[in-house]
Amino acid sequence: MSKSKSAAEIIVEGRVQGVGYRNYAQRRGSSLGLAGFVMNLKDGRVRARAEGPRPVIEEFIRELGKGPPLSLVENVKVRWLPPSGRFDEFGIRYAEFES
């Protein structure tokens, strides 16, 4: 049963932009073998989508709660979803508003 795929949308609040957070999340997601992406949101939060075994996603969520050294994570919200199967790897999405 643990081999079955899950997916989660994760919203991270706090000081998570301009501190290397997306690179941190991308490295963690890749090293755990997850598929999905991480991106900045206009309001200063970070959004991640992860697909893989649920225990692995739960480990990823714990890592996101820690964040890289310069970040200050205040809140992590998780919404479990059915996996889409659209992602082959874990990447960074760069939104249009990036400077």
12 three-state secondary structure: strand
Task: Determine whether 40 is an active site residue.
Answer: yes
Tokens of residue 59, six digits: 């480990």
Active-site choice (23, 27, 28, 40): 40
Rounded-to-integer distance, Cα 71 and Cα 86, Å: 29
Task: Determine whether 23 is an active site residue.
Answer: no
Active-site choice (15, 22, 62, 75): 22
Rounded-to-integer distance, Cα 99 and Cα 93, Å: 14
Query: Which residues are known to be catalytic?
Result: 22, 40
